């Protein structure tokens, strides 16, 4: 019976269904894969010449990259040919003492709700994507409300913090149940990480006598930065939020380290800042060295902020640039886009792997420098 069925392979309509039914054979698998690839490749570029010209005019790689790097009031899941699928997020505004709370879907695509809408380029500089106040004619009034909304980055931070709490609580429960036994699963990973932070970062830079007080902060900073970096590399929900590529986030993390350092500082630390052990001519009549030492207090957290922000942002820009090359050539010639897509995809995959390594390195560097600064602030007198 099988030979009779196989003899029908030259028929046009029956061949597809029969080959699909017996796709485990090599010939049928090749035909099936070929059909899928043709549909997958041809479908994005199918359409009229009018659509192609529209894409050519409208595609702007700079806008695409900046949109990814920036923050939004909704979380876009999919955008196919102008049809956007997004998760609306809560909008919390305070304007003239009045609190307004609604979902971001109310002001989607230029719509106005309760006298608010998203700003555009026509409203003025630095207003695109920001919530502004408008009048009855939908014209910008020159006012912006205080925005306390749950934006994409804020929601991403909530997700990362939830993951961290779940992992730690799960490992804690397993450690209590398996008291005295070998760790398993997530408990093993967490214990390895704790030992790494302790032996390679905290103890060498802070000291055995005081490292315990700072382990919670160092471990939290490492986990938070690492998970944010990794989640930012994921092209699908709940990943995709550029959390550590937002300078407000990195500045907040740097301020945490700054305050920990300030509250951990000793008299010896401040003595070396005000009266450093340098030749007198560097301190009088112009207090050159004390001034430089004082400025260094603020340049340390500033370097933490900029280093993390710049490295993560640069990686995202490079990866998105490779992807945008495909659409730039595709707007002119789909055939050319097919040719450059191979190289662009390979380079994007390569950069993704590099960025995964950078995600760990940047978390490590931030935690290491924080421990070093804390150790320096805890300097004791040698007398």
In this predicted model, what pLDDT tens digit does every residue of 230-247 receive, in sequence order?
A: 988 887 787 788 899 889
Whether residue 345 is predicted with pLDDT greater than 90 in this model: the reply is: no
Q: Give the pLDDT confidence score for residue 261 in this predicted structure.
A: 92
Choose between 32 and 79: higher pLDDT.
79
Give dist(CA 370, CA 225) in Å, integer: 13
Section 339-365 average pLDDT? 87
Per-residue pLDDT tens for 295-326? 888 999 999 999 999 999 888 888 888 888 88
Task: Indicate the average pLDDT of the chain.
Answer: 78
Residues of the chain with pLDDT > 90: what percent? Answer: 23
Instruction: Return the SS3 of 95.
Output: strand
Q: Compute the C-alpha angle 255/97/109, nearest 5°.
A: 80
Q: How far apart are CA 368 and CA 205, in angstroms?
A: 8
Does the pLDDT value for residue 163 go beyond 70?
yes
Q: Which residues pair with 371 in a beta bridge?
A: none
Whole-angstrom distance, CA of residue 149 vs CA of residue 241? 16
How far CA 216 is from CA of 170, 176, 206, 210, 372, in Å, comes to 17, 19, 14, 12, 16
Higher pLDDT: 13 or 205? It is: 205
Based on its alpha-carbon atoms, the radius of gyration of the chain, rounded to whole angstroms, reads 28
- Measured distance CA(245)–CA(336) in Å, rounded: 32
pLDDT grade, residue 257 (50/70/90)? very high
pLDDT at 256: 95
Task: Give residue limits of the domains in the chain.
Answer: 2-45, 73-147, 152-377
> How far apart, in Å, are the Cα atoms of 253 and each of 157, 219, 355, 363?
12, 13, 20, 11
pLDDT (0 to 100) of residue 370:
94
Residue with tokens 């008291």: 179
Percent of residues, the chain, with pLDDT higher than 70: 80
pLDDT classification of 82: cutoffs 50, 70, 90: low
Burial class (CB in 10 A: 0-12, 13-18, 19+), 284: exposed
Predicted confidence band at 81 (pLDDT cuts at 50, 70, 90)? low
- Express each pLDDT in 13-71 by its tens digit: 444 333 444 344 444 444 444 444 344 334 333 333 333 344 445 667 777 787 778 88
How confident is the model at residue 58, as a pLDDT? 64
User: Confidence class of residue 281 from pLDDT cuts 50, 70 and 90?
Assistant: low
Q: How confident is the model at residue 289 (pLDDT cuts 50, 70, 90)?
A: confident
CB 186 within 8 A of CB 175: no
- Which of 7-11, 175-179, 220-224, 314-318 is predicted most confidently? 220-224
DSSP code at position 183: P
């Amino acid at each position: 019976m099988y030979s009779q069925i196989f003899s029908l392979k030259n028929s046009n309509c029956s061949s597809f269904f029969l080959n699909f039914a017996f796709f485990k054979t090599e010939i049928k698998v090749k035909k099936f894969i070929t059909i899928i690839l043709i549909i997958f490749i041809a479908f994005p570029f199918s359409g009229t010449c009018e659509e192609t010209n529209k894409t050519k005019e409208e595609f702007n790689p700079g806008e695409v990259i900046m949109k990814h790097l920036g923050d939004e009031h909704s979380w876009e899941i999919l955008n196919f040919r102008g049809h956007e699928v997004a998760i609306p997020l809560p909008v919390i505004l305070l304007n003239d003492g009045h609190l307004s709370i609604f979902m971001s879907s109310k002001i989607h695509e230029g719509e106005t709700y309760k006298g608010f809408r998203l700003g555009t380029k026509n409203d003025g500089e630095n207003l695109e994507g920001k919530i502004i106040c408008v009048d009855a004619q939908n014209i910008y009034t020159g006012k912006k409300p205080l925005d306390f909304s749950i934006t994409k980055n804020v929601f991403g931070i909530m997700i990362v913090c939830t993951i961290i709490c779940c992992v730690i609580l799960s490992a804690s429960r397993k450690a209590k149940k398996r008291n005295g036994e070998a760790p398993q699963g997530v408990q093993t990973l967490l214990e390895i990480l704790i030992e790494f932070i302790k032996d390679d970062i905290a103890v060498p830079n802070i000291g055995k006598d005081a490292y315990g007080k700072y382990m919670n902060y160092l471990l939290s900073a490492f986990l938070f930065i690492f998970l944010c970096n990794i989640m930012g590399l994921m092209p699908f929900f709940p990943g995709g939020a550029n959390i550590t590529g937002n300078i407000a986030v990195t500045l907040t993390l740097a301020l945490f380290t700054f305050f920990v350092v300030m509250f951990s500082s000793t008299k010896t630390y401040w003595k070396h800042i005000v009266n450093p052990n340098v030749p007198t001519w560097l301190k009088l009549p112009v207090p050159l060295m004390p001034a430089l030492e004082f400025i260094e207090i603020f340049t340390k957290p500033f370097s933490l902020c900029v280093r993390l922000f710049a490295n993560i942002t640069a990686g995202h820009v490079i990866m998105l640039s490779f992807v945008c090359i495909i659409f730039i050539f595709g707007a002119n010639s789909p055939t050319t886009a097919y040719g450059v897509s191979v190289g662009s995809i390979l380079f994007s995959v390569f950069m993704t792997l590099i960025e995964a390594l950078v995600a760990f390195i940047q978390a490590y560097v931030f935690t290491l420098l924080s421990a070093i600064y804390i150790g320096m602030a805890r300097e004791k007198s040698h007398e």
